Structure 1
Amino acid sequence: MARTFTRSADPPPAARSSAGYVLGLLFAGNLLNFYDRALPSVVLEPIKDEFGLDDTQVGLLASAFVLIAALAGIPLGRLADRVPRAAVAGWGLFVWSAFTAAGGLLTNFWAFLASRVGVGVGESSYAPATGSLLADLYPSERRSRAHSLFMLGFPLGTLLAFLTAGGLAVAFDSWRAPFLIAAFPGFVVAFLVLRIREPERGAADPAGGLAGGVPGEDSAPLPRGPKAAAEPVARALSLRSLMRVRSMYGMLLAFAGYNFAAYAIGTFLTPVLQRHHDLSLVGAGLVGGVVVGVTGLVGLVAGGRVLDRAARRSPEARVRVAAYSLVGAAAFSLAGLAAGHGALWQLVVFLSLGYLLGIVYLAAAVPVVSDVIRPEQRSGALGLLFAVGYLLGGAGGPILVGVLSDALAAASASGTEASALGLRTALMITVPLAFGVAAAGMLLAARFIRADRDAMLAAPLTP
């Protein structure tokens, strides 16, 4: 008979914290995640001037952060399948807050780059652990809404960074001030996250398909303790078993495409507003906050409701709605980034619409993975998803846009005008294309989502 998977290090179900409290606390951590992540982008021009950087080096700064986050996400996701997820998320939050503060103290480019790498390692632990935890608090038909509320930390944290970081830098006459100030709430929230009492793994899934384990094992709970649990859990988390889930290929492609576009916009929106539209640091931060903050908030709130309504019709309906939203994101972002000098309204209106439609995808990504991956594998699967998406998309976006920007600037007239034209053109080429790739990935995933979900519920995955 099959051995039943039980948690080796999770607390008993009677000790679980309420779903609403856990969701609110994890949202607070996610808000700080994206606030700290956005800080260099908001004050990028002062950083660039102090360290004497070109756009390629700026792209390297952003890409190094994402690259390390991608590589660290896989082992940290696997770790969260073996130990309490609150511990992984809480200590990750503590680490990235400490490195954020360090970034405000270091005085040369390479040391600052190293601090951003440290932030990336800490933040890479958060999404896989919290995504798995939330999946055990809410059933499938409510997960998009719950995850969209969690992901409100993305637009709200980014909006808060755009609205406050420039003002803090001006008020303290230093771009370093926001980094130092941001660390303190991170330590407080990290302490509270570490005190979360978790639900059973698989608690919110239909019971019928989740009693099985690894074929060939005796029917008995696993002995408690890391040594007793390590071998079967490691087998269950094997990459081979995850990649038997065919919809994962489309999800990986979609997450890479979306992250390419999102990180390219997040890294270079403030500079293009300053160079091409002649805005001040504070003014560019305010406009950027509208484009990526306010619209992101609307997109996630509305998107979560729409996607859950679609999921009640069929598993693949949620995926198709996200795909169509990404198609719209590609079209509107092209219209916005094509805005000429003096047509700031065009950029704000159309790029905001593109960003709004694009972020709907984020309300679908984790719930879709939770629909097709068994509970004891979800943190590892999400770690893989975030790793591939960040590696190919999040890391590739800023560096490719930076290289292309410098090349286009060098091919045109010299000076600030060339720099503005090169950056705007680089974004106009790459961002819509990346959203299109993401849409194609979701349409690919939609072809297999029903069969993969049925297989997950009906029988255990064979490691």
Structure 2
Amino acid sequence: MTAPARSSSAYVLALLFAGNLLNFYDRALPAVVLEPIKEEYRLDDVQVGVLASAFVVVAAIAGVPLGRLADRVARRTVAGWGLLVWSLFTAAGGVLTNFWAFLGSRVGVGAGEASYAPATGSLLADLYPSERRARANAVFMLGFPIGTLLAYLTAGGLAVAFDTWRAPFLIAAIPGVVVALLVLRIREPERGAAEPAPPVVGEKRGILRVKSMYGLILAFAGYNFAAYAIGTFLTPVVQRYYGLGLVDAGLVGGAVIGVTGLLGLLVGGRLLDRAARRSPAARVVVAAVCLAGAALCSLAGLAAGKGALWQLIVLLGLGYLLGIIYLAAAVPVTADVIRPHQRSTAIGLMSAIGYLLGGAGGPIVVGAMSDSLAAGSTEADGLRTAMMIAIPIAFAVAALGMLLAARYVRDDRAAMLAA
């Protein structure tokens, strides 16, 4: 029998989703067992922020060259080897016995994961046309809340069951190796296969001459600042301020990040694609409105007093839900305005700047604010106040970025198709 020219879109999407689930499971592990790590290595909150950000900084720096590589070689090769590398470094984090070695393992995880978004974003854009990309990307991005939810639900229990916080790191590496081998066997579609007309390979328009990209980069940075700050410090603030144990705090984190993120992507993909049928700009405006709502809800949730844990869960969860709807739009909008043979590079560039300013900045800034504010009150109050100030502002900045992109996306889309 003759092998098909390319793997089916549903199979590729399912496989890439599995890899993305493991991506965010591995990312979330240090946050879930952060207090035992902090105790063993005797860290303050600034050092905790550095630990969370080191991974993001490396992912940001590596994202651009790996994105360029994915525009030149098979995208399955870049994504598959990246998945294999980060899985092995995740396992290394479970056996290394000093802080600097553990930090080095997280740097390795960041380098491996940097390959995944640029390669898979470009690949998905060639599997689905523009008006279906938000739903496809939402399914792919379900790996974010589901992987994070699984980490929050299982990592604490595994650490308690094996009497060490290292156990989840070792266990997580096994499925990563399996999925990496499957990704390496994908048969890809041609670049530009889902566009209305075949792509012309010739003189390329510079990515930073596309005006929409400036707003998209600003939005990605603001969103990741908020998301990484929440992901890093939600479990510690629930333990310190509300007095919950490790397992119960993990359940709260799973509810706020995992369950609401899952619902947001399920609703968001369909909502955004429906808006895209009206115009390319409509999808961007909907994402901006959701980010503005995330700023307001997260402020109300983080303002909850010690006797109102439900307020934190409900309102911060709603803010997280609205914020993640934006995430279903980020890559499809980039694909709308960037030519097929430049998409991995563009996604890598957006990820690099967004992660460097936002994903790395969020944990460090909130950690530094926490230590400073704790000097005049308590460690618990300092962290809560720092999150209450920084996270809503970051969501608001992301909303402004999408409004800026909405001004130019129609013309940039037309210019890309006319090329």
Does TM, normalized by the shorter one, top 0.5? yes
Q: How do 1:357-368 residues align onto structure 2 when only pairs under 5 Å count? A: 357-368=322-333
* CA displacement at 1:213 relative to structure 2: 3.2
Partner AA of 1:377 in structure 2: Q
CA distances 1:293-322 after superposition (whole Å, capped 9, x unpaired): 000000001000000000000000000000
Alignment of 1:80-119 (within 5 A): 80-119=70-109
Q: In the TM superposition, what is the alpha-carbon distance from 1:114 to its structure 2 partner?
A: 0.3
5 Å-filtered alignment, 1:54-133, equals 54-133=44-123
Any conservation in 1 of the 2:252–2:313 contact (CA below 8 Å)? yes
SS in 1 for 2:127: coil
Largest Rg, 1 or 2? 1
- What letter matches 2:8 in structure 1? S
CA deviation string 1:126-149 (max 9, x = no partner): 000000000000000000000000
Which amino acid is 2:34 matched to?
Answer: L
How far does residue 212 in structure 1 lie from its aligned partner after superposition?
A: 2.9
Q: Give the match for residue 422 of structure 1.
A: 382
Deviations 1:146-167, CA, capped at 9 Å, x for gaps: 0000000000000000000000
Amino acid at match of 1:278: G
> Residue 153 of structure 1 is aligned with which of 143, 150, 162?
143
Deviation by residue 1:166-212 (Cα, 9 ceiling, x = unmatched): 000000000000000000000000000000000000000111xx443
2:391 to 425, 428, 431: 431
The structure 1 residue matched to 2:224, chosen from 259, 266, 276, is 259
Q: Deviations over 1:208-243 (max 9, x none)?
A: xx443325xxxxxxxxxxxxxxxxxxxx4xxx8000
Asked if 1:445 is matched to 2:414, the reply is no
Task: Please state if 1:331 is matched with 2:296.
Answer: yes
TM-fit CA distance, 1:328: 0.3
The AA in structure 2 aligned to 1:319 is V
TM-score (norm 2): 0.99
Q: Residue type of the partner of 1:119?
A: V
Q: Distance in 2 between matches of 1:14 and 1:161?
A: 36
SS at 1:453 equivalent: helix
Q: Give unmatched runs, 5+ long, in structure 2.
A: none
Q: Does 1:245 align with 2:215?
A: no
SS state of the match for residue 15, structure 1?
coil
* Pairwise CA distance, 1:373: 0.2
Write the mapping of 1:353-392 to structure 2, written as runs, cut at 5 A. 353-392=318-357
Measured after TM superposition, the shift of residue 15 of structure 1 is: 1.9
What is aligned with 2:161?
A: 171
Where does the alignment leave 5 or more consecutive residues of structure 1 unmatched?
1-12, 216-235, 413-417
Superposition pairs of residues 199-214 of structure 1, within 5 angstroms: 199-207=189-197, 210-214=198-202
The alignment status of 1:294 with 2:246, answered yes or no, reads no
SS in structure 2 at match of 1:82: coil
1:345 to 310, 315, 321: 310
Consecutive aligned runs of 4 or more in structure 1 exceeding 3 Å deviation: none
TM-score normalised to structure 1 length: 0.89
Q: How far apart are residue 363 of structure 1 and its match?
A: 0.4
Deviations 1:252-304 (A, max 9, x none): 00000000000000000000000000000000001110000000000001000
Which of 230, 244, 247 is equivalent to 1:282? 247
For residue 104 of structure 1, report the CA deviation from its aligned partner.
0.3
> Aligned letter for 1:149?
V
Identity among equivalent pairs (%): 76
Counterpart code for 2:367: G
Q: Deviations over 1:37-81 (max 9, x none)?
A: 000000000000000000000000001110000000000000000
SS of 1:203's partner is coil
